[in-house]
């Protein structure tokens, strides 16, 4: 019996296979790997020669996986994740003193960034770098140690820990509590512009103005009118400038309420929602001491935060 170890498949061909199998498209795989579709086809043929069996069924412009491809794909993905993690461990000495955190822009600007001075003051020698992006972090390609996601906390392949619950409440500039059209009760909203947060996160439990007004028994106010914004930070800034009343996420509005730029005019106006903020990172990832220090700090910071009303 030969003691020669099993011959390994070609790495570049495996990368092409994983990308093409995940996207079910040679063209999209080529775009992802920054090569030509012809190069992808050539690498797939090389891998099929190695396997001795077809991996894709070509049907016109689309492709389907064969039984052999479907059976091997999860193992290939896991292998690349382990290789990436090995690379991160190799780079750990060079990354010492740095923690990269990915977050949506509104949460990064309004909740996280104002608190970072506390982290740096109590964790000398560690720099927290924030990457603000609307898209979900792909830990296979992004240089991120962890991410903060808004949702229910169920993410395939990721470990998640709850950071903050979320509520929605009306907020406005303190100036709108004065004058002949001063806001005293929800019915007074008919004299003011309603600002709408239409962020990309889709939480079915999150009320819009129409449902909030209905739930509070408010008549005579059209909850469908008013400008719309695709990021929570834009809603907050518009409300703080006195341009109307926003139905805002509490975590995004909390600092401006505490600073007096915003007020919450209705004591019973907040509505709990299903989504919250979660710390996430790949399962099995080695967390450095610096990353663990950041996780402890941000969880303590979240636990000490609270809704500030009027």
Neighbours of 227 (CB within 10 A): 14
Poorest-pLDDT segment among 58-62, 85-89, 124-128, 173-177 = 85-89
The model carries a pTM of 0.69
The CA distance from 112 to 108, in Å, is 5
Residue 308: per-residue pLDDT: 40
Residues shown for the chain: 310
The CA distance from 110 to 256, in Å, is 8
Of 252, 262, 249, 242, nearest in space to 309 by CA = 262
Residue 202: per-residue pLDDT: 67
143-180 residue pLDDT tens: 789 999 999 988 888 899 999 999 999 999 999 999 99
**Choice between 232 and 2, residue whose per-residue pLDDT is larger:** 232
Cα 156-161-164 angle, rounded to 5 deg: 120
Strands (E), 111-237: 127-132, 146-151, 158-171, 194-197, 228-229
**Choice between 9 and 7, residue whose per-residue pLDDT is larger:** 9
**Choice between 226 and 308, residue whose per-residue pLDDT is larger:** 226
The CA distance from 306 to 309, in Å, is 10
Confirm if 232 and 252 have CB atoms less than 8 A apart. yes
Mean pLDDT for all residues in the chain: 88
**Choice between 202 and 101, residue whose per-residue pLDDT is larger:** 101
Chain-centre distance for alpha carbon 209: 24
Confidence of residue 307 (pLDDT cuts 50, 70, 90): very low
The CA distance from 41 to 13, in Å, is 9
214-273 residue pLDDT tens: 999 999 999 999 999 988 899 999 999 999 999 999 999 999 999 999 999 997 888 889
Residue 268: per-residue pLDDT: 80
Confirm if 162 and 276 have CB atoms less than 8 A apart. yes
Q: Which two tokens stand for residue 216?
A: 């509070």
> Is 70 exceeded by the pLDDT of residue 275?
yes
The CA distance from 201 to 208, in Å, is 13
């Amino acid at each position: 019996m030969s003691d020669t170890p099993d011959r390994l498949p070609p790495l570049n061909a495996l990368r092409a296979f994983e990308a093409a199998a995940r996207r079910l498209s040679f063209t999209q795989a080529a775009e992802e790997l920054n090569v030509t579709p012809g190069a992808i086809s050539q690498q797939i043929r090389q891998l099929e020669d190695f396997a001795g069996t077809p991996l894709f069924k070509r049907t016109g412009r689309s492709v389907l996986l064969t039984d052999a491809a479907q059976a091997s794909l999860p193992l290939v993905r896991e292998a690349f994740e382990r290789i990436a993690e090995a690379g991160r461990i190799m780079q750990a000495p060079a990354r010492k003193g740095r923690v990269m955190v990915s977050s949506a822009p509104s949460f990064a600007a309004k909740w996280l960034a104002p608190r970072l001075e506390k982290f740096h003051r109590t964790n000398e020698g560690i720099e927290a770098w924030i990457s603000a992006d609307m898209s979900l972090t792909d830990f296979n390609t992004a240089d991120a140690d962890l991410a903060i996601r808004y949702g229910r906390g169920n993410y395939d392949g990721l470990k998640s820990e709850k950071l903050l619950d979320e509520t929605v409440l009306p907020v406005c500039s303190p100036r709108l509590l004065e004058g002949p059209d001063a806001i005293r009760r929800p019915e007074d909203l008919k004299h003011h512009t309603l600002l709408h947060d239409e962020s990309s996160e889709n939480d079915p439990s999150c009320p819009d103005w129409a449902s909030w007004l209905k739930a509070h028994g408010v008549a005579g106010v059209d909850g469908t009118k008013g400008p719309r914004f695709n990021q929570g930070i834009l809603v907050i800034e518009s409300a703080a400038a006195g341009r109307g009343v926003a139905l805002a996420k509490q975590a995004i509005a909390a600092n401006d309420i505490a600073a007096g730029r915003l007020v919450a005019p209705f004591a019973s106006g907040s509505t709990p929602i299903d989504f919250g903020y979660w710390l996430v990172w790949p399962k099995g990832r080695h967390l450095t001491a610096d990353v663990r220090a950041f996780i402890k700090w941000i969880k303590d910071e979240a636990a000490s935060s609270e809704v500030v009303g009027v």
